[in-house]
Amino acid sequence: MLLLPVLLLRVAVLRLLRLLVLRRLLLLVRAAVLLLAVLLVLRLLVLVLVLAVLLVAVLLLLLRGLLPVAALALLAELRLLLPVVLVAHQATTALRSCWKAV
């Protein structure tokens, strides 16, 4: 007779512990996703700053009258920009899907 309440209490405690572990795990996953998002934003900011410096260099070349060199530098900058855009798109899509899954 006394065994049934003890078993019910044990089951309730085990379910509560499982729920607490799952909540903590969920919080850890959300924190990891947010950390990845922050690192992605910082990486993209650095790449944008590098591209801005390159653009200023191209403008300075244009002002000095070095049109062929400026054109080559602009083409090189555009070659750098395409992978940045692709990586940013893929990363934001992955983060969005991770956030929806969590």
Is 51 contained in some domain? yes
Is 69 contained in some domain? yes
Per-residue pLDDT averaged across 21-26, rounded?
78
Is 11 contained in some domain? no
CA-based angle 76:81:87, to the nearest 5? 140
Is 14 contained in some domain? no
Is 35 contained in some domain? yes
Q: pLDDT tens, 35-55?
A: 777 777 777 777 778 778 877
What is the C-alpha radius of gyration for the chain, rounded to an integer number of angstroms?
A: 27
Provide the residue range defining the domain that includes 76.
Answer: 30-101
Is 7 contained in some domain? no
Is 13 contained in some domain? no
pTM exceeds 0.85 for this model: no
Is 16 contained in some domain? no
User: How many structural domains comprise the chain?
Assistant: 1
Residue-level pLDDT at 46: 78
Residue-level pLDDT at 60: 78
Q: Provide CB contacts within 8 A for 55, sequence distance 6+.
A: 77
Give residue 23's pLDDT band: very low, low, confident or very high (50, 70, 90): confident
